[in-house]
Structure 1
Amino acid sequence: MNLSVLPTKLVVAGIGTEIGKTVASAVLVEALQADYWKPIQSGALNDSDTDTVRRLVSNTTSYYHSEAYRLTQPLSPHAAAEIDGVTIELDKFNVPQTHNSLIIELAGGLMVPLNNHELTIDLVQRLGLPVVLVSRNYLGSINHTLLSVAVCQSRNIPLVGILFNGPTVPATETFILAYTGLPCIGRIGQEAQMTKELIKKYAAELLPALHQLVEPFQ
């Protein structure tokens, strides 16, 4: 099955902040030659996550869609929005129209507040798309990964699988996969500096698993 024939739309979620969602998104964008969309950018407006993915991706097919909200402060979306004098509203998020595959990168973890009464997971539920969960090994990551899986399952949000990023800890990864029953999409190693060449390498390694795992969601 060729994923370029049936466009694939995936949400990239992390078990917390600074997990490596942007690098993971770049790998997925390269693997699928997909478009990219970051609905909310908080801070770093002159060097955004969209800019980072664009720098790391080699293919010329991908298109980078504008954010729904561009917030000036590197804070939780609800706090950054309050400082900027705006209110984040779920009905303002519309999935970009494209005939290509699309990777959607969330801001922060699933339970991060968007406003005074809605969370990032409410946005995920509204989008109605399957989730790739990015996990990173650190003390407490098992707890954070299992909680992220559980909250998705409690809302019937489909999970494609887990993508591990950073240092490999076999005991941790083995337990997470066995306990959740989710497949491992792949692993992105700890690199001193992520380059286009490395993104292409990891994309090639992930592509066979993506072919198999994404098919049921198309």
Structure 2
Amino acid sequence: MERIFVTGIGTGVGKTFISAILAKALNADYWKPVQAGFADGTDSECVAKWLEGTDSVVHPEVYRLAKPASPHIAAREEGITIDIENICSQIPTNNRTLLIEGAGGLLVPLNNSTFVADLIKELGAKVILVSRNYLGSINHSLLTARACREMQLPVIGWVFNDQYLNYEEEIVHWSNYPRIASIPYSENINGTFINTHAAAIKKQLEELL
């Protein structure tokens, strides 16, 4: 079973809808093991709606935390500690490709000693990086790329989204990670939007895998 971990250069960069696009393109299952904040619905619920009518299975979270904060803080408020061994013991088991969505970026703490990047290594997953175009995203993107190299994480490439300025080529050049796709900004992300962009990136994604 192929495991692909979707992480971002920060919070709110579009990991969830891009995970849905990737899951659709690869006919993969989706899993977000740690959800922090669900008053407005969970990421898994959004993905399930966007992938309705497909073969993709949206697997339940291991940790579902109420507070919309860093996972280690949200867990602490509920009197629990996130354990990456516990997460790894609950990996969905079947022969399908598994898209795993992280919380925030690589160095988001899961507890007092481990980070999202440590979970990626324990899961043995390949990595897709999500970058949203905004002022400052070059710095955030290249810091993320450097952290991946220092931690020897196997990166497949970048998915960019939104339009601010056209500096995706520079990020690809300086990071030396390929571009998988550029997804345009939309205020109406729905199943049609997901299907359209999944079809557009399917070939490039499969070649990189």
Structure 2 residue 187 is matched with structure 1 residue 192: yes
Residues of 1 paired with 2:98 and 2:63: CA distance? 18
Task: Choose which of 113, 117, 126 in structure 2 pairs with 1:130.
Answer: 126
Any unmatched runs of 5+ in structure 2? none
Provide the residue aligned with 1:55 in structure 2: 49
Deviations 1:102-133 (A, max 9, x none): 10000111111111111111111111111000
Contact 2:131 2:137 in 1 (8 A): yes
The Cα shift of 1:174 comes to 1.2
Contact 2:134 2:164 in 1 (8 A): no
Aligned positions of 1:21-36 closer than 5 A: 21-36=15-30
The share of aligned pairs that are identical, in percent, is 42
Aligned pairs, number? 207
Any unmatched runs of 5+ in structure 1? 1-6
Q: Note closer, same or farther for the CA distance 1:43–1:92 as it changes in structure 2 (3 Å cut).
A: same
Deviations 1:31-82 (A, max 9, x none): 1111000010101166110000011114421111111101111110000000
Contact 1:164 1:186 in 2 (8 A): yes
Residues of 2 paired with 1:112 and 1:169: CA distance? 27
Q: 1:9 is aligned with what amino acid?
A: R
Superposed structure 1 runs of 4+ greater than 2 Å apart: none
Contact 2:3 2:124 in 1 (8 A): no
Residues of 2 paired with 1:60 and 1:137: CA distance? 30
| Cα root mean square deviation, aligned | 1.2
The Cα shift of 1:101 comes to 1.2
Partner secondary structure for residue 93 of structure 1: helix
Q: 2:65 is aligned with what amino acid?
A: L
> Structure 1-normalised TM-score?
0.92
Q: 2:145 is aligned with what amino acid?
A: V
Provide the residue aligned with 2:142 in structure 1: 146
Residues of 2 paired with 1:129 and 1:78: CA distance? 22
> Structure 2-normalised TM-score?
0.95
The Cα shift of 1:185 comes to 0.4
Q: 2:178 is aligned with what amino acid?
A: P
Contact 2:2 2:125 in 1 (8 A): no
Partner secondary structure for residue 81 of structure 1: helix
Provide the residue aligned with 2:66 in structure 1: 72
Contact 2:38 2:68 in 1 (8 A): yes
Contact 1:128 1:157 in 2 (8 A): no
